[in-house]
Amino acid sequence: MGENNANTIGSCPVCNREMWKDCHVDRHHFTPKCRGGKESEYVHKVCHNKIHSIWTEKELEKEFNDPEKVRTHPEIQKFIKFVCKKDPDYYDKNDIHKRKK
């Protein structure tokens, strides 16, 4: 609703906050391709990391293959409350550190 609107890529399926092209976003396959999943979806990097820190690939594939289900988990609810107070661009810098290795 501002002049920045052109940069939005929709709202995050995890936390529901808006995502911006130039902030930290990732793509996540809610339903893996091998199970007939569509394309990956944009999620915030921080949300993406959270998902993968709670569940293994197998659990994601079997149970948490739907944003609706992901959001009902208590850990995610806690996380959403926490992350809603952060900037849209917020991410865990420590995580970047790990990835560089």
Interface ranges with Zn ion (CB under 5 A): 12, 14-15, 28, 44, 47
Q: Name residues whose C-beta falls within 8 Å of residue 77's C-beta, 6 or more positions apart in sequence.
A: 71
In this complex, which beta carbon is closest to Zn ion, that of residue 4 or of residue 52?
A: 52
Q: How far is the CB of 12 from Zn ion (least distance, A)?
A: 3
Return the residue nearest Zn ion (CB atom): 12
In this complex, which beta carbon is closest to Zn ion, that of residue 4 or of residue 33?
A: 33
Q: Please give the Cα distance from 64 to 72 (Å, whole number).
A: 10
The 3 state secondary structure assigned to 56-92 is: CHHHHHHCCCCHHHHHHCHHHHHHHHHHCCCCCCCCC
Q: How far is the CB of 1 from Zn ion (least distance, A)?
A: 19
Q: How far is the CB of 5 from Zn ion (least distance, A)?
A: 18
Q: Please give the Cα distance from 91 to 66 (Å, whole number).
A: 23
Q: How far is the CB of 53 from Zn ion (least distance, A)?
A: 11
In this complex, which beta carbon is closest to Zn ion, that of residue 15 or of residue 76?
A: 15
